[in-house]
Structure 1
Amino acid sequence: MSSSTAATVGSVSNVSQVAALINGLSELPRKANLLWYLILGGLFLDAYSNAALGAGLVPMTKELSLTPGQVGVLTATAPAVAILFNPVGGWAAARIGRVKPLLVAKLIAALGAVLTATAGSFEAVWFGRGLVGIAYGVDFAVAMALLAEYTPATLRGRLNLWQSVWYVATTVNLALTLAFFKLGISVDIWRWSVGSAGVFAVVLLGLQLTFLAESPTWLAARGRIAEAARSLRRIYGFEVTAGTAAQQSGPEEPKVGFRQAGVLFRAPYLPRTILSTAISLTQSMQYFAVGWYLPVISLAIFGQKFETATLGAMIFNAAGIVGGALSAYLGHRLGLRTSSAIGYAMVTVTLLAMGLSLNKAPIAIAFVLPLLFIFFHSAGPGANGKSIAALSYRSDIRSLGTGVTGMLGSFGSVIGLYVFPQIKEAFGLGPTIALLAVVPLLGLVSCLLIRWDPTRDGFDPDTEHIELRPARDHARSR
């Protein structure tokens, strides 16, 4: 069904029928497409907020006289807090819907940006980054679930576009940072970089508050069929009504809370949870250990000139934009698991070459290797951990699944951001990068051992009927 024939007369009585209507589309109608990108805008903000501190890390370190340990704490704070708030966001979205947590996340992100930008001490920056971490944790868990629920089955690979958006956000932040530098802002450049994230947060809050509509499949899974029908009309233009009370009859759906998280670690969800967690963990570790520090790596390649290093980092991120866009195509053609495995293999080779040749290879090779790292990372595993999680669980537990696996995967970013400065301080940049090659190798092994892919064979999680009772209660009933 194309967007031109999206309007359909009929009724819906349960979540399977709602999901079938959405999955019957071959493309998103115009309004649904706009809302889809508005949700994606939240992930742009998450990436931009993360990049904002990295772009001004060197001048901030000088202004506040930070030690390597304090730098490690500040860079790891947001993803560390996100570990706690990934499942909180998922739980909230499972209980009160997708839209409200997204709006709260934007408000918290704006507050965190303002506090960080006006901070005069390590402690104040740390608190501001903690708020950014809360927003990041909540937003990512909920946004990926809502994107999956807005997206027809034939367009599932499109979820990987979040990876390209990540690099667009990072590049925009670097460009603005360079513009601030050109305007004569030097020591305080990090404040302008971080503060601009607050502006984006406020704008996005207003747009999402005005236009976003609740997920029809979540509403239907909660038994709110009339609201689901209204949401289908508002988002897709379907002319549907709610079924009669008799048609909607059936067992009452249990409320989903943290007690139901155990279902993610039982059959048939266990392999899916392990794979999505393994990919999310390893890809975030390799990115936040290397990709997040591209300005620092760029300084090592091009010298200590701020302008040159920032331009180099922007070019590196351009490879991520291309690779992230390509990952949507590869995810559709090859499947998320296979494209991840290929990406991991190439990243392993690239990290070894980059680490062993740093400060030894000609500048052309030294420049190309980080470019290849970002490209293979973004085209392969960079997007797939979160996309697999969003597509592997049915609507009533989807946000819980993305939240819990996101929490587990966030440990990778904390390890990358906190441990990397310590190892780099002790052994140097080159040996540390070479040592990191073990991370994508572990990711490759995970993809080879667990052969799960939600984009294959027309899989639809909302047709699965799996008991939500905690494992202990399930065992007692037997």
Structure 2
Amino acid sequence: MSSTKNPAARSHAGAAADKRRFLIRMVSVLIGGMILDGYVLGIIGPVAGTMAEDLQLTAFWEGLIAAAALVGILIGAPLGGVAADKWGRRPIFMFDIGLFAVASGMQFFIDSPVWLIVVRLLMGIAIGTEYAVGWPLMAEFSPTHLRGRLMAAMGIAWYGGFMIAFLTGHLLNEYTELSWHFILGTSTFLAVALFLARLGLPESPRWLWSEGRKDEARALAAKYMPDDALDDVQHEDVRKGSFGMLFSKEHWRSTLFISGFWFCAVTPYFAIATFADSVLQQYGLAGGLAGGVGLSAVALAGVIVTFLLIEKAGRRLLTVPPQWLCGVVLAIIGLWAGAPAPVVLILFLVFSFFNAGYNTLTNVYPGEVLPTEIRCIGTGFAAAVSRVGAGIGIFLLPMSMESLGAGPTMLIAAAVALAGAALSQWLAPETKGKTLTEAAAAFSH
């Protein structure tokens, strides 16, 4: 009996082990992409003062350089989404990290504000493309029971990358003689490592199936995906996606929700976190390492809590109530002009914790509520809309703090957060435990 059963059992165990190793590799390179994104957007803050002094920048130019990567994301996310749904996930996945490595490396040699904006714009295009293809890939390869956690892990990576960048930038800027060019260019080392790690990754079976390439899809699903995934893949329709489908009667609610939710979630965070030093100093609090890293560390804790709870509490509970809370907290900061500094700090920390928690769901929902044929297009569009908000926040916050003052600026941020809460109260679905096909079908009208 053992001689007949053992070979089959060993073969099945070996196949399962291969799938686990592949999933670990896929998750690692996707998480690496999010670390890189957070790093690029976080590294600019600690060197902003040195860079501004060296290049004799006004507040306008400083904000423009800080926002350049976000403008690039605005361009790259929808274009990358269209390309990934048209030509496949794999080639676009390699293109974006290659572009990023080249553009990041150029930062070592640039000392003109115009060229710095151009380079960081190119890096943003690469990051936007990564959003459009990376999160859909994670959704498409993840087992149903782990999908929420694995996609939430990308949020941990983003905040971790932002915090690592702030810490690294501060230490290198304060305690070494390295130039701000080199500090900005440190992202190149991670980009090159990720490019090498992505070589040889397969195409998404779900995309192949949506293109009618069923035999290839079955073969790759059998080799790389969980045993029950092939059945779900085969329940999907074979049809071409298009940008216009995002606004069709069937999908407009999905598009409105993921775009509006994402916009309102990131706008206040980017503005406050990127310029944490100046924001905290306006309230009589010490900035520097303690302020910036403190807010980022609390935000990271919020993402970790969401990661631990997402498959138990579900998506909606972690999305709607925290947004109302953050809107109220920002309103209190804006209205309470004479609040003691410790109270203001506590309120900022509460905002950072809960805002980061529901920001994690912006990684999860786009991959779940959209069908395969428009998953990348829709994710890219939502990412672009969100980065309009992030860019507005980063670009306008220094000028708003200077001209309007801290109180009115925080009230504007509160209004954005409360608008997101109202939208989510109306449209946020519960997708816990559903396959991708079921989740997308349930939110289509």
Q: Is the structural similarity TM-score above 0.5?
A: yes
Matched, 1:63 2:40: no
In structure 1, the residue matched to 2:253 is 271
The alpha carbon displacement at 1:373 in A equals 1.3
Candidates 89, 92, 104, aligned match of 1:101: 92
Q: Deviations for 1:281-322, whole angstroms, at most 9, x for unmatched residues?
A: 111211112122223334556767xxx612331121111111
In structure 1, the residue matched to 2:66 is 75
In structure 1, the residue matched to 2:350 is 372
In structure 2, the residue matched to 1:193 is 183
Distance 2:221 2:247 in 1: 32
Distance 2:360 2:284 in 1: 29
Candidates 206, 210, 230, aligned match of 1:217: 206
Contact 1:79 1:133 in 2 (8 A): yes
Contact 1:164 1:378 in 2 (8 A): no
Give the aligned residue type for 1:367.
L
In structure 2, the residue matched to 1:454 is 431
Q: Deviations for 1:146-169, whole angstroms, at most 9, x for unmatched residues?
A: 011011222232212222211110
In structure 1, the residue matched to 2:268 is 286
Segments of structure 2 that go 5 or more residues without pairing to the other structure are 1-8
In structure 2, the residue matched to 1:473 is none
Q: Deviations for 1:111-147, whole angstroms, at most 9, x for unmatched residues?
A: 2222334221210111111111111110111101101
In structure 2, the residue matched to 1:472 is none
Structure 1 residues 390 and 237: CA distance shift in structure 2, 3 A: closer
Distance 1:251 1:168 in 2: 35
1:189-338 matches, cutoff 5 A: 190-210=180-200, 212-236=201-225, 253-256=238-241, 260-300=242-282, 309-338=288-317
Give the aligned residue type for 1:135.
A
Matched, 1:134 2:134: no
TM norm structure 1 = 0.81
Greater percentage in helix: 2
TM norm structure 2 = 0.87
The alpha carbon displacement at 1:419 in A equals 2.1
Contact 1:163 1:383 in 2 (8 A): yes
Contact 1:55 1:295 in 2 (8 A): no
In structure 2, the residue matched to 1:471 is none
Q: Deviations for 1:5-37, whole angstroms, at most 9, x for unmatched residues?
A: 99769xxxxxxxxxxxxxxx9xx8243133212
Contact 1:112 1:132 in 2 (8 A): yes
Structure 1 residues 234 and 38: CA distance shift in structure 2, 3 A: farther
Matched, 1:388 2:377: no
Structure 1 residues 356 and 59: CA distance shift in structure 2, 3 A: farther
1:44-193 matches, cutoff 5 A: 44-158=35-149, 159-185=151-177, 188=179, 190-193=180-183
Q: Deviations for 1:315-370, whole angstroms, at most 9, x for unmatched residues?
A: 21111111112223443334323322111112112212333457x44443333222
Q: Deviations for 1:258-283, whole angstroms, at most 9, x for unmatched residues?
A: xx222222233221111111111111
Structure 1 residues 241 and 436: CA distance shift in structure 2, 3 A: closer
Secondary structure in 1 aligned to 2:212? coil
> Quick check: 281-290 or 330-339, which moved more?
330-339
Distance 1:261 1:43 in 2: 25
In structure 2, the residue matched to 1:438 is 415
Give the aligned residue type for 1:313.
G
Give the aligned residue type for 1:79.
L
Candidates 28, 35, 43, aligned match of 1:37: 28
Structure 1 residues 233 and 6: CA distance shift in structure 2, 3 A: farther
The alpha carbon displacement at 1:237 in A equals 7.6
Distance 1:240 1:69 in 2: 51
Contact 1:93 1:101 in 2 (8 A): yes
Give the aligned residue type for 1:195.
G
Contact 1:288 1:413 in 2 (8 A): yes
> Quick check: 123-132 or 312-321, which moved more?
312-321
Contact 1:261 1:400 in 2 (8 A): yes
Q: Deviations for 1:432-471, whole angstroms, at most 9, x for unmatched residues?
A: 123311011001110122253333666635885999xxxx
Secondary structure in 1 aligned to 2:275? helix
Aligned length: 429
Secondary structure in 1 aligned to 2:430? coil
Secondary structure in 2 aligned to 1:29? helix
The alpha carbon displacement at 1:251 in A equals 12
1:329-368 matches, cutoff 5 A: 329-357=308-336, 360-368=338-346
Structure 1 residues 330 and 165: CA distance shift in structure 2, 3 A: same
- Provide the identity percentage: 24
Distance 1:347 1:241 in 2: 41
> Quick check: 393-402 or 126-135, which moved more?
393-402
Give the aligned residue type for 1:368.
I
The alpha carbon displacement at 1:236 in A equals 4.1
Give the aligned residue type for 2:334.
G
Structure 1 residues 421 and 332: CA distance shift in structure 2, 3 A: same
Give the aligned residue type for 1:275.
F
Candidates 423, 426, 432, aligned match of 2:403: 426
In structure 1, the residue matched to 2:5 is none
Secondary structure in 2 aligned to 1:56? helix
Contact 1:278 1:409 in 2 (8 A): yes
Contact 1:64 1:121 in 2 (8 A): yes
The alpha carbon displacement at 1:235 in A equals 2.7
Structure 1 residues 237 and 390: CA distance shift in structure 2, 3 A: closer
Segments of structure 1 that go 5 or more residues without pairing to the other structure are 10-24, 243-247, 468-478
Structure 1 residues 164 and 465: CA distance shift in structure 2, 3 A: closer
In structure 2, the residue matched to 1:245 is none
The alpha carbon displacement at 1:203 in A equals 1.0
Distance 1:389 1:463 in 2: 10
Secondary structure in 1 aligned to 2:186? helix
Give the aligned residue type for 1:78.
A
Contact 2:154 2:363 in 1 (8 A): no
Matched, 1:414 2:391: yes
Distance 1:319 1:251 in 2: 40
Distance 2:53 2:407 in 1: 24
Contact 1:295 1:309 in 2 (8 A): yes
